[in-house]
């Protein structure tokens, strides 16, 4: 059951991110302002909450990424990705990092770089309870 719930949660998050990407690529200026006012505070709070969980402890280790047998020194991959996308990403184009490659492998499709017309999957809910790569069984 935990796998099904986890898949539902992941699908909901991916669907929301896809919807926001589509809005950013296709919406008119007035709609973008409205979305920015409602969604940017939510996104920044989400980043803050996630980064807070990855704050280094007194030894300089990430408590979330570390295990009993393997300590992960700060900055962990979460902080590296945050810096790359929130700070450095606006400065110059960068090669995908190892963390990006691992995360991208979990995505169902890459983030579009230009607007494209909606596909049949987009209009019928591509983030259904079943992962197209691997069926989830209860």
pLDDT values of the chain reduced to their tens digit, one per residue, 138 residues: 788 899 999 999 999 999 999 999 999 999 999 999 999 999 999 999 999 999 999 999 999 999 999 999 999 999 999 999 999 876 655 455 555 555 555 544 444 444 444 444 444 444 444 444 444 444
Q: What is the dihedral of CA 50, 131, 136, 47, to 10 degrees?
A: 0
Measured CA to CA, the distance from residue 110 to residue 106 in angstroms comes to 10
| Structure tokens given for 70 | 């393997």
The total number of structural domains that make up the chain = 1
Domain of residue 50, residue span: 2-74+110-124
pTM of the model: 0.60
**Domain-embedded: residue 130:** no
User: In this structure, what DSSP letter does residue 72 have?
Assistant: -
Query: Is position 89 within any domain?
Result: no
The torsion angle over the Cα atoms of residues 116, 119, 124 and 125, rounded to 10 degrees, is -50
Q: Is 66 inside any structural domain?
A: yes
Question: Is 10 part of any domain?
Answer: yes
């Amino acid at each position: 059951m935990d796998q099904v719930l986890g898949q539902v949660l992941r699908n909901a998050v991916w669907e929301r991110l896809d919807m926001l990407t589509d809005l950013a690529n296709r919406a008119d200026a007035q709609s973008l302002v409205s979305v920015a006012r409602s969604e940017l505070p939510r996104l920044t709070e989400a980043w803050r909450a996630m980064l807070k969980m990855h704050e280094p402890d007194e030894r300089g280790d990430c408590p979330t990424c570390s295990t009993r047998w393997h300590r992960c020194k700060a900055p962990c991959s979460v902080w590296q990705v945050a810096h790359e996308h929130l700070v450095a990403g606006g400065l110059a184009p960068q090669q995908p990092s190892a963390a990006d490659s691992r995360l991208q492998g979990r995505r169902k499709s890459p983030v579009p770089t230009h607007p494209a017309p909606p596909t049949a999957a987009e209009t019928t809910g591509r983030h259904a309870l079943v992962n197209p790569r691997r069926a989830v069984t209860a």
